[in-house]
Amino acid sequence: MAHRSLIACVLWSFASCKGNDDTGADDDPGDSDGPLSFEFTDRVPAQEFDSRIADSALAAHQTGNMLLASTGIVVADEKVQDRLNIEGAGGLDFRAGGLDCWAREPYPMFSFPIDYSGCSAYQMAGGVFVADHPTGPLLFEFQNFQITDRSIGGVLALDREGAFADPLYWQAYNSDSLNPGLDNRVPIGINVDSGNYGISWTGGASVDFVAQEWAMWGVMDFTFGTEPVQVIYGGLDPADVPADDPPGADVLKSSLNWLECRCPQSGLSFMAMPLQVEAVTLDIDSFELEPDAVDDPTISMEVDALLDGDATLTWTGCGSWDVAYATAAAEIIVSRDQLTGVLSFACETLAIPDTERCDAMVDAAARLPSTFTVEITEQQVTSSAKEAADNEFDNAWCHLY
Protein backbone atom coordinates (compact mmCIF):
# COMPACT_ATOMS: atom_id res chain seq x y z
CA MET A 1 0.00 0.00 0.00
CA ALA A 2 1.62 3.21 -1.13
CA HIS A 3 2.45 5.95 1.33
CA ARG A 4 3.62 9.52 0.95
CA SER A 5 7.01 10.39 2.37
CA LEU A 6 8.10 13.69 3.76
CA ILE A 7 10.68 13.99 1.02
CA ALA A 8 7.89 13.76 -1.50
CA CYS A 9 6.12 16.53 0.36
CA VAL A 10 9.08 18.78 -0.27
CA LEU A 11 9.54 17.78 -3.89
CA TRP A 12 5.91 18.01 -4.88
CA SER A 13 5.19 21.10 -2.77
CA PHE A 14 3.46 21.34 0.53
CA ALA A 15 0.05 21.71 -1.06
CA SER A 16 0.17 18.17 -2.45
CA CYS A 17 0.76 16.70 1.02
CA LYS A 18 -2.16 18.26 2.88
CA GLY A 19 -4.32 16.15 5.15
CA ASN A 20 -7.94 15.50 4.40
CA ASP A 21 -9.50 17.71 7.07
CA ASP A 22 -12.97 18.69 5.89
CA THR A 23 -13.58 21.46 8.42
CA GLY A 24 -13.34 24.12 5.75
CA ALA A 25 -10.66 25.94 7.74
CA ASP A 26 -7.62 27.66 6.31
CA ASP A 27 -5.40 24.93 4.86
CA ASP A 28 -2.14 26.92 4.93
CA PRO A 29 -0.27 26.44 8.23
CA GLY A 30 2.09 29.24 7.29
CA ASP A 31 -0.74 31.76 7.44
CA SER A 32 -2.20 30.37 10.67
CA ASP A 33 -2.23 31.87 14.10
CA GLY A 34 -2.27 28.37 15.57
CA PRO A 35 -1.08 27.68 19.13
CA LEU A 36 2.59 27.71 19.93
CA SER A 37 2.16 24.74 22.26
CA PHE A 38 0.41 21.39 21.88
CA GLU A 39 -0.59 18.41 23.94
CA PHE A 40 -0.21 15.15 22.04
CA THR A 41 -2.06 11.90 22.67
CA ASP A 42 -0.16 8.63 22.87
CA ARG A 43 -2.77 6.71 20.80
CA VAL A 44 -3.34 7.57 17.14
CA PRO A 45 -5.06 5.82 14.22
CA ALA A 46 -3.06 4.76 11.19
CA GLN A 47 -4.16 6.58 8.07
CA GLU A 48 -2.39 3.96 5.91
CA PHE A 49 0.23 1.28 6.36
CA ASP A 50 2.58 -0.69 4.14
CA SER A 51 2.77 -4.44 4.63
CA ARG A 52 3.81 -7.63 2.92
CA ILE A 53 3.07 -11.29 3.52
CA ALA A 54 5.33 -12.72 6.22
CA ASP A 55 8.19 -14.83 4.87
CA SER A 56 6.90 -18.02 6.50
CA ALA A 57 3.50 -17.73 4.83
CA LEU A 58 4.97 -16.89 1.43
CA ALA A 59 7.29 -19.90 1.69
CA ALA A 60 4.31 -22.09 2.59
CA HIS A 61 2.33 -20.92 -0.44
CA GLN A 62 5.22 -21.41 -2.85
CA THR A 63 6.27 -24.76 -1.39
CA GLY A 64 2.75 -26.20 -1.51
CA ASN A 65 2.25 -25.03 -5.07
CA MET A 66 5.52 -26.66 -6.11
CA LEU A 67 4.49 -30.02 -4.66
CA LEU A 68 1.02 -29.85 -6.23
CA ALA A 69 2.38 -28.70 -9.59
CA SER A 70 5.15 -31.30 -9.71
CA THR A 71 2.75 -34.11 -8.89
CA GLY A 72 0.29 -32.85 -11.50
CA ILE A 73 2.99 -32.84 -14.18
CA VAL A 74 3.92 -36.45 -13.44
CA VAL A 75 0.28 -37.55 -13.45
CA ALA A 76 -0.16 -35.89 -16.87
CA ASP A 77 1.96 -38.61 -18.49
CA GLU A 78 -0.22 -41.24 -20.16
CA LYS A 79 1.91 -44.17 -18.96
CA VAL A 80 1.71 -42.87 -15.41
CA GLN A 81 -2.03 -42.75 -15.87
CA ASP A 82 -1.87 -46.40 -16.98
CA ARG A 83 -0.13 -47.27 -13.72
CA LEU A 84 -2.69 -45.28 -11.73
CA ASN A 85 -5.48 -47.05 -13.56
CA ILE A 86 -4.03 -50.49 -12.89
CA GLU A 87 -2.86 -49.84 -9.32
CA GLY A 88 -6.10 -48.03 -8.51
CA ALA A 89 -8.33 -50.85 -9.79
CA GLY A 90 -9.85 -48.52 -12.33
CA GLY A 91 -10.48 -51.13 -14.99
CA LEU A 92 -10.38 -48.59 -17.85
CA ASP A 93 -8.66 -48.84 -21.21
CA PHE A 94 -7.53 -45.23 -21.24
CA ARG A 95 -4.97 -43.01 -22.93
CA ALA A 96 -4.72 -39.30 -22.23
CA GLY A 97 -2.64 -38.49 -25.32
CA GLY A 98 -1.74 -34.91 -26.05
CA LEU A 99 1.53 -33.03 -26.26
CA ASP A 100 4.40 -33.74 -23.91
CA CYS A 101 7.99 -32.53 -23.81
CA TRP A 102 9.58 -35.26 -21.68
CA ALA A 103 11.25 -38.55 -22.57
CA ARG A 104 10.61 -42.06 -21.26
CA GLU A 105 10.44 -45.62 -22.54
CA PRO A 106 7.64 -45.93 -25.10
CA TYR A 107 6.24 -49.12 -23.55
CA PRO A 108 7.32 -49.20 -19.90
CA MET A 109 6.28 -52.07 -17.67
CA PHE A 110 6.08 -51.51 -13.92
CA SER A 111 8.71 -48.90 -13.01
CA PHE A 112 10.32 -46.35 -15.30
CA PRO A 113 12.17 -43.01 -15.35
CA ILE A 114 10.88 -39.81 -16.93
CA ASP A 115 13.44 -37.30 -18.18
CA TYR A 116 12.38 -33.64 -18.30
CA SER A 117 15.67 -32.25 -19.61
CA GLY A 118 14.01 -31.56 -22.97
CA CYS A 119 11.37 -29.32 -21.37
CA SER A 120 13.35 -26.09 -21.17
CA ALA A 121 10.74 -24.31 -23.30
CA TYR A 122 8.34 -24.92 -20.42
CA GLN A 123 10.92 -24.06 -17.74
CA MET A 124 11.16 -27.65 -16.49
CA ALA A 125 14.16 -29.93 -15.96
CA GLY A 126 15.37 -32.87 -13.90
CA GLY A 127 13.72 -36.25 -13.61
CA VAL A 128 11.18 -38.43 -11.84
CA PHE A 129 11.32 -42.19 -11.31
CA VAL A 130 7.88 -43.80 -11.20
CA ALA A 131 8.23 -46.96 -9.12
CA ASP A 132 5.65 -49.68 -8.63
CA HIS A 133 6.96 -50.85 -5.26
CA PRO A 134 6.48 -54.55 -4.45
CA THR A 135 4.96 -53.69 -1.06
CA GLY A 136 2.08 -51.90 -2.75
CA PRO A 137 2.51 -48.12 -3.09
CA LEU A 138 3.17 -46.33 -6.38
CA LEU A 139 6.09 -43.99 -5.77
CA PHE A 140 6.93 -40.69 -7.45
CA GLU A 141 10.65 -40.30 -6.80
CA PHE A 142 11.51 -36.69 -7.65
CA GLN A 143 15.15 -36.35 -8.71
CA ASN A 144 15.95 -32.64 -8.72
CA PHE A 145 12.81 -32.02 -10.71
CA GLN A 146 12.59 -28.32 -11.54
CA ILE A 147 9.87 -25.85 -12.46
CA THR A 148 11.22 -22.34 -13.15
CA ASP A 149 13.63 -21.61 -10.28
CA ARG A 150 12.06 -24.11 -7.87
CA SER A 151 13.12 -27.71 -7.37
CA ILE A 152 11.92 -30.80 -5.55
CA GLY A 153 13.56 -34.03 -4.42
CA GLY A 154 12.16 -36.95 -2.45
CA VAL A 155 9.37 -39.50 -2.58
CA LEU A 156 5.61 -39.09 -2.67
CA ALA A 157 3.85 -42.42 -2.10
CA LEU A 158 0.38 -43.16 -3.46
CA ASP A 159 -1.00 -46.04 -1.44
CA ARG A 160 -4.33 -47.83 -1.81
CA GLU A 161 -4.07 -48.94 1.81
CA GLY A 162 -5.76 -46.37 4.04
CA ALA A 163 -7.39 -44.63 1.09
CA PHE A 164 -11.03 -43.93 0.36
CA ALA A 165 -12.60 -47.28 -0.47
CA ASP A 166 -13.39 -46.66 -4.14
CA PRO A 167 -11.32 -47.26 -7.28
CA LEU A 168 -8.79 -44.61 -8.28
CA TYR A 169 -8.30 -43.22 -4.76
CA TRP A 170 -5.01 -43.23 -2.82
CA GLN A 171 -3.54 -42.23 0.47
CA ALA A 172 -0.69 -39.82 -0.30
CA TYR A 173 2.31 -39.29 1.97
CA ASN A 174 6.03 -38.57 1.90
CA SER A 175 8.13 -41.66 2.43
CA ASP A 176 11.29 -43.63 1.66
CA SER A 177 12.03 -45.12 -1.76
CA LEU A 178 13.39 -48.48 -0.53
CA ASN A 179 11.08 -49.14 2.38
CA PRO A 180 7.98 -46.98 1.89
CA GLY A 181 5.24 -46.70 4.49
CA LEU A 182 3.66 -44.39 7.02
CA ASP A 183 6.18 -45.59 9.61
CA ASN A 184 9.14 -44.50 7.47
CA ARG A 185 8.54 -40.85 6.64
CA VAL A 186 11.39 -39.11 4.83
CA PRO A 187 10.78 -35.40 4.19
CA ILE A 188 10.42 -34.14 0.63
CA GLY A 189 12.93 -31.38 -0.04
CA ILE A 190 11.54 -28.35 -1.87
CA ASN A 191 13.59 -25.30 -2.80
CA VAL A 192 11.80 -21.99 -3.37
CA ASP A 193 12.80 -18.31 -3.29
CA SER A 194 13.39 -18.14 0.45
CA GLY A 195 15.27 -21.41 0.88
CA ASN A 196 15.03 -25.17 1.10
CA TYR A 197 12.39 -26.89 3.23
CA GLY A 198 11.79 -30.49 4.23
CA ILE A 199 8.04 -30.98 4.01
CA SER A 200 5.72 -33.64 5.30
CA TRP A 201 2.49 -34.39 3.43
CA THR A 202 -0.38 -36.55 4.65
CA GLY A 203 -3.66 -36.78 2.78
CA GLY A 204 -5.43 -38.29 -0.15
CA ALA A 205 -5.52 -38.18 -3.94
CA SER A 206 -7.79 -39.33 -6.73
CA VAL A 207 -8.05 -39.24 -10.51
CA ASP A 208 -11.15 -38.81 -12.64
CA PHE A 209 -10.36 -39.89 -16.19
CA VAL A 210 -13.79 -38.88 -17.48
CA ALA A 211 -13.57 -35.32 -16.15
CA GLN A 212 -9.80 -35.26 -16.83
CA GLU A 213 -9.00 -34.10 -13.29
CA TRP A 214 -6.41 -34.93 -10.67
CA ALA A 215 -7.38 -34.14 -7.07
CA MET A 216 -5.37 -33.86 -3.85
CA TRP A 217 -6.23 -32.96 -0.27
CA GLY A 218 -4.34 -33.16 3.01
CA VAL A 219 -1.96 -31.39 5.36
CA MET A 220 1.51 -30.07 4.63
CA ASP A 221 3.93 -29.37 7.50
CA PHE A 222 7.44 -27.95 7.60
CA THR A 223 9.61 -25.74 9.75
CA PHE A 224 10.54 -22.19 8.78
CA GLY A 225 13.59 -21.41 10.88
CA THR A 226 12.29 -22.57 14.26
CA GLU A 227 8.64 -21.84 13.43
CA PRO A 228 6.28 -24.75 12.63
CA VAL A 229 4.19 -24.02 9.52
CA GLN A 230 1.09 -25.90 8.41
CA VAL A 231 -1.15 -25.59 5.36
CA ILE A 232 -4.44 -27.48 5.04
CA TYR A 233 -5.63 -28.33 1.55
CA GLY A 234 -9.30 -29.14 1.06
CA GLY A 235 -10.55 -27.92 4.45
CA LEU A 236 -10.01 -25.64 7.43
CA ASP A 237 -8.75 -28.21 9.92
CA PRO A 238 -6.68 -31.42 9.66
CA ALA A 239 -9.77 -33.34 10.74
CA ASP A 240 -11.48 -32.13 7.54
CA VAL A 241 -9.02 -33.88 5.22
CA PRO A 242 -8.44 -37.53 6.15
CA ALA A 243 -7.09 -39.73 3.39
CA ASP A 244 -10.06 -42.09 3.56
CA ASP A 245 -12.79 -39.45 3.21
CA PRO A 246 -12.37 -36.90 0.40
CA PRO A 247 -13.86 -33.49 1.31
CA GLY A 248 -16.02 -33.03 -1.79
CA ALA A 249 -15.76 -29.78 -3.73
CA ASP A 250 -13.06 -28.40 -1.44
CA VAL A 251 -10.33 -30.74 -2.76
CA LEU A 252 -7.63 -29.15 -4.91
CA LYS A 253 -8.29 -30.13 -8.52
CA SER A 254 -5.90 -29.86 -11.47
CA SER A 255 -6.45 -30.60 -15.12
CA LEU A 256 -4.76 -33.68 -16.60
CA ASN A 257 -3.90 -31.35 -19.48
CA TRP A 258 -0.60 -30.12 -18.04
CA LEU A 259 -0.47 -27.23 -20.54
CA GLU A 260 -3.62 -25.69 -19.08
CA CYS A 261 -2.17 -24.61 -15.75
CA ARG A 262 0.57 -25.56 -13.30
CA CYS A 263 -1.62 -24.96 -10.26
CA PRO A 264 -4.95 -26.33 -9.12
CA GLN A 265 -7.92 -24.38 -10.38
CA SER A 266 -10.54 -25.18 -7.77
CA GLY A 267 -10.77 -26.12 -4.11
CA LEU A 268 -9.59 -24.30 -1.01
CA SER A 269 -6.60 -24.09 1.29
CA PHE A 270 -6.14 -22.63 4.76
CA MET A 271 -3.08 -21.32 6.57
CA ALA A 272 -1.80 -18.73 8.98
CA MET A 273 -0.82 -15.64 7.00
CA PRO A 274 0.79 -12.96 9.18
CA LEU A 275 1.49 -9.55 7.67
CA GLN A 276 4.86 -7.86 8.11
CA VAL A 277 4.19 -4.13 8.57
CA GLU A 278 7.04 -1.99 7.31
CA ALA A 279 5.71 1.58 7.47
CA VAL A 280 2.75 3.56 8.76
CA THR A 281 1.35 6.87 7.58
CA LEU A 282 -0.05 9.13 10.29
CA ASP A 283 -1.95 12.41 10.16
CA ILE A 284 -0.24 14.91 12.46
CA ASP A 285 -3.69 16.32 13.31
CA SER A 286 -4.61 13.00 14.96
CA PHE A 287 -1.97 13.61 17.65
CA GLU A 288 -3.58 16.85 18.87
CA LEU A 289 -5.62 16.45 22.05
CA GLU A 290 -7.35 19.72 21.20
CA PRO A 291 -7.45 19.89 17.38
CA ASP A 292 -7.15 23.37 15.92
CA ALA A 293 -8.32 24.69 12.58
CA VAL A 294 -5.04 24.03 10.77
CA ASP A 295 -4.78 21.04 8.46
CA ASP A 296 -1.30 19.61 9.01
CA PRO A 297 0.41 17.16 6.61
CA THR A 298 0.85 13.42 7.09
CA ILE A 299 4.08 11.77 8.12
CA SER A 300 5.44 8.33 7.28
CA MET A 301 7.42 6.22 9.73
CA GLU A 302 9.28 2.96 9.26
CA VAL A 303 8.16 0.20 11.64
CA ASP A 304 8.75 -3.51 12.14
CA ALA A 305 5.64 -5.31 13.34
CA LEU A 306 3.86 -8.59 12.67
CA LEU A 307 0.06 -8.73 12.45
CA ASP A 308 -1.57 -12.13 12.92
CA GLY A 309 -4.29 -13.48 10.64
CA ASP A 310 -5.54 -16.63 8.93
CA ALA A 311 -6.18 -16.88 5.21
CA THR A 312 -8.65 -19.13 3.42
CA LEU A 313 -7.92 -19.25 -0.31
CA THR A 314 -10.69 -20.43 -2.60
CA TRP A 315 -9.05 -21.24 -5.92
CA THR A 316 -11.14 -19.73 -8.73
CA GLY A 317 -8.94 -20.34 -11.77
CA CYS A 318 -5.35 -20.56 -12.90
CA GLY A 319 -3.36 -18.43 -10.47
CA SER A 320 -6.42 -16.72 -9.02
CA TRP A 321 -8.04 -16.95 -5.60
CA ASP A 322 -10.71 -15.40 -3.47
CA VAL A 323 -9.10 -14.57 -0.13
CA ALA A 324 -11.05 -14.60 3.11
CA TYR A 325 -8.91 -13.17 5.90
CA ALA A 326 -9.68 -13.66 9.59
CA THR A 327 -7.99 -11.12 11.80
CA ALA A 328 -8.64 -8.45 14.42
CA ALA A 329 -7.84 -4.82 15.03
CA ALA A 330 -4.18 -4.37 15.86
CA GLU A 331 -1.84 -2.03 17.68
CA ILE A 332 1.75 -1.13 16.79
CA ILE A 333 4.11 0.33 19.37
CA VAL A 334 6.36 3.10 18.02
CA SER A 335 9.22 4.93 19.68
CA ARG A 336 8.67 8.53 20.80
CA ASP A 337 12.22 9.35 19.66
CA GLN A 338 11.36 8.16 16.16
CA LEU A 339 8.38 10.52 16.09
CA THR A 340 10.43 13.50 17.25
CA GLY A 341 13.04 12.68 14.63
CA VAL A 342 10.46 12.57 11.83
CA LEU A 343 8.84 15.81 12.98
CA SER A 344 12.26 17.51 13.27
CA PHE A 345 12.99 16.45 9.70
CA ALA A 346 9.66 17.95 8.65
CA CYS A 347 10.69 21.21 10.25
CA GLU A 348 14.11 21.22 8.59
CA THR A 349 12.67 20.51 5.14
CA LEU A 350 9.84 23.03 5.58
CA ALA A 351 7.19 20.35 5.13
CA ILE A 352 5.59 22.32 7.94
CA PRO A 353 6.57 25.87 6.95
CA ASP A 354 5.47 27.58 10.18
CA THR A 355 8.70 27.23 12.17
CA GLU A 356 7.21 28.13 15.56
CA ARG A 357 4.30 25.75 15.05
CA CYS A 358 6.63 22.97 13.97
CA ASP A 359 8.94 23.47 16.96
CA ALA A 360 5.92 23.34 19.26
CA MET A 361 4.93 20.00 17.75
CA VAL A 362 8.41 18.58 18.27
CA ASP A 363 8.25 19.75 21.88
CA ALA A 364 4.84 18.09 22.36
CA ALA A 365 6.15 14.83 20.91
CA ALA A 366 9.16 14.95 23.24
CA ARG A 367 6.79 15.09 26.26
CA LEU A 368 5.10 11.81 25.29
CA PRO A 369 5.98 8.57 27.09
CA SER A 370 8.88 6.61 25.60
CA THR A 371 6.48 4.89 23.17
CA PHE A 372 3.09 5.59 21.63
CA THR A 373 0.48 3.34 20.05
CA VAL A 374 -0.69 3.26 16.43
CA GLU A 375 -4.14 1.73 16.02
CA ILE A 376 -5.00 -0.27 12.89
CA THR A 377 -8.59 -1.33 12.24
CA GLU A 378 -9.66 -4.85 11.32
CA GLN A 379 -10.88 -3.54 7.98
CA GLN A 380 -7.47 -2.03 7.22
CA VAL A 381 -5.68 -5.29 8.07
CA THR A 382 -8.09 -7.35 5.96
CA SER A 383 -7.79 -5.03 2.98
CA SER A 384 -4.01 -5.04 3.17
CA ALA A 385 -3.90 -8.85 3.41
CA LYS A 386 -6.03 -9.30 0.31
CA GLU A 387 -3.96 -6.81 -1.64
CA ALA A 388 -0.75 -8.52 -0.52
CA ALA A 389 -2.07 -11.92 -1.65
CA ASP A 390 -2.97 -10.49 -5.06
CA ASN A 391 0.50 -8.99 -5.44
CA GLU A 392 2.75 -11.66 -3.91
CA PHE A 393 1.15 -15.07 -4.34
CA ASP A 394 1.75 -17.33 -7.36
CA ASN A 395 -0.26 -15.71 -10.09
CA ALA A 396 2.10 -15.64 -13.08
CA TRP A 397 3.98 -18.72 -11.82
CA CYS A 398 0.89 -20.88 -12.35
CA HIS A 399 0.77 -20.06 -16.08
CA LEU A 400 3.06 -21.87 -18.51
CA TYR A 401 3.09 -18.94 -20.93
Give mean pLDDT, residues 80-88.
92
pLDDT computed for residue 92 by the predictor: 67
Residue 211: how many other CB atoms lie within 10 Å: 11
pLDDT in tens, 215-231: 999 999 999 999 999 99
Q: Which amino acid is at 20?
A: N
Among 10-19, 21-30, 95-104, 170-179, whose mean pLDDT is lowest?
10-19
Task: Inform me whether the pLDDT recorded for 296 exceeds 70.
Answer: yes
Mean residue pLDDT of the chain comes to 90
Over residues 173-191, the mean pLDDT reads: 97
Give residue 352's pLDDT band: very low, low, confident or very high (50, 70, 90). confident
Is residue 26 scored above 60 in pLDDT?
Answer: no
Give the pLDDT band of residue 90 (cuts 50, 70, 90).
Answer: confident
Among the residue ranges 3-7, 121-125, 161-165, 290-294, the one predicted with the least confidence is: 3-7
Q: Give the tens place of pLDDT for each residue, 244-277.
A: 999 999 999 999 999 999 999 999 999 999 999 9
- Spell out the domain ranges in the chain: 6-53+275-398, 56-272
In this prediction, residue 97 carries a pLDDT of 60
* pLDDT, mean of residues 340-368: 93
Percent share of the chain, pLDDT over 70: 90
Contacts of 115 (CB under 8 A, 6+ apart): 102, 103, 104, 127
**pLDDT (0 to 100) of residue 35:** 54
